[in-house]
Amino acid sequence: MPASKNSKSVVSKLFRKQGEILDISITSTPKQELLAKIETYLSEKSNFEAKKPLFITTPNPEQVVLASDDPSFAKILNKSDISLCDGTGLLIGLEYLTKYQDKLGSIKKNYRRKVEVGSVKINKYVKSARKKQKFAVEVIKKVALFVKSSIYVLKNNSSTDGSKVIKGREFVLRLLDVANTHRYKVFLLGSTINVISRTKEILTKKYPAVRFQFEYDLKVDLNGVPVSKKHYRNEELVVNRINRFHPQMLFVAFGAPKQEKWVYRCLKNLNVDLVMVCGSAFDHIAGTRKQVPPVVSRFGMEWLWRLFTGSQTFERIHNAVIRFPILLLNSD
């Protein structure tokens, strides 16, 4: 692959984002194809003349809702090189917006024509009830199309490598397969000493060709900024340690939106090839968080599982299950 003067455009073209939900760009490339592209990029990185690491985010319905209230978070998700479609809800949203938006347009047009054509007497009646009728018709049609999209996605989406739903925690393991093949170095950042130590222990056994290092003692606020002078000093030490190690991959687990904002703030200072935010991935690997049964995940009911197991707050579930569909139905 020849070197490019415009490395940004080359990378953007290689990892082009195909969908958009509520102004958030989403990478809907199937898992195996995306992994192959990342492996090619890492092995031929010098040809891309990249000036900063490849940045992978993992938006899900809850994060899209957060982004609708936080322009800086939305900006970061959109500026990341890859935004994994982390959740069945996002795939339903993509299906709804891309496949049925044209139908919604024709519904509005046809309804407008029916309202405006008729006798003077009918038009006078319509004027008094027009807003209520229009609202009711649009809500019914949108809900019907959303339900149709949901049924289509749940029926056709699978957990195979051809799936467009790519769980962040699963993608971490697939990237580590790549790292093991090429004997890469990997740095783990975030969580607690017990969780990250256990995670490193498990991963070292599973991926013996990978050299791992980790750090947990860095606390940041919702803006991705260290919470105290102590943690500002820790941040400098952590970044220096990462850069001395020079890993091909860095996984950051502070939780959204902390992790995305911290990575974005420090991205140009990180001497790594790829950085991915991974939320609770370390907890899943270490076994401190209960695994979601495959059948529950298959039917997009992870939110219900997390509600019953207490692994997620009601507010987060409300954002993903209630606010996200409402925002989607209200979008034009």
Q: Rounded mean pLDDT of 247-276? A: 97
Shared domain for 11 and 37, answered yes or no, is yes
Cite the DSSP H helix spans in the chain.
Answer: 7-14, 31-43, 45-48, 61-69, 71-79, 88-116, 120-156, 168-182, 193-206, 229-245, 258-266, 281-286, 294-298, 302-309, 314-318, 324-330
- pLDDT of 161 higher than 70: no
Residues 30-39: tens digit of each pLDDT: 889 999 999 9
pLDDT at residue 110, rounded to an integer: 47
Better-scored residue on pLDDT, 241 or 98: 241
Both 208 and 241 in one domain: the answer is: yes
Q: Are residues 245 and 224 in the same domain?
A: yes
- Which DSSP category does 62 fall into? H
179 and 272 together in one domain: yes
Q: In the chain, what percentage of residues exceed pLDDT 70?
A: 73
Q: Are residues 250 and 215 in the same domain?
A: yes
Q: pLDDT category, 118, cuts 50, 70, 90?
A: very low
Q: Which two tokens stand for residue 83?
A: 């935004």
**CB neighbours of 80 closer than 8 A, spacing ≥ 6?**
55, 56, 57, 260
* Residue 226 and residue 146 in one domain: no
Would the pTM count as exceeding 0.85?
Answer: no
In a shared domain, residues 68 and 214: yes
Structural domain containing residue 149: 90-156
The 8-class DSSP code of residue 269 comes to G
146 is a domain residue: yes
Tally the domains of the chain: 3
- Segment 184-226, tens digit of pLDDT: 999 999 999 999 999 999 999 999 999 999 999 999 999 999 9
pLDDT digits (tens, 9 = 90+) for 62-77: 999 999 999 999 999 9
Q: CA-to-CA distance for 238 and 280, rounded, in angstroms?
A: 20
Looking at the fold, whether 78 and 170 belong to one and the same domain comes out as yes
Last residue of a domain, one of 270, 286, 302: 286
- pLDDT confidence of residue 273: 96
Distance CA 72, CA 69 (A): 9
Domain end call among 156, 173, 202? 156
**Domain co-membership, 80 together with 224:** yes
Query: Does one domain contain both 71 and 128?
Result: no
Residue 105 lies in a domain: yes
Q: Exposed/middle/buried for 94, CB within 10 Å: 0-12, 13-18, 19+?
A: buried
Q: Return the closest-CA partner of residue 213 out of 174, 240, 173.
A: 240
- Determine the average pLDDT of the residues in 242-252: 98
* pLDDT value of residue 331: 76
Q: Is the pLDDT of residue 104 over 60?
A: no
Same domain, yes or no, for 43 and 147? no
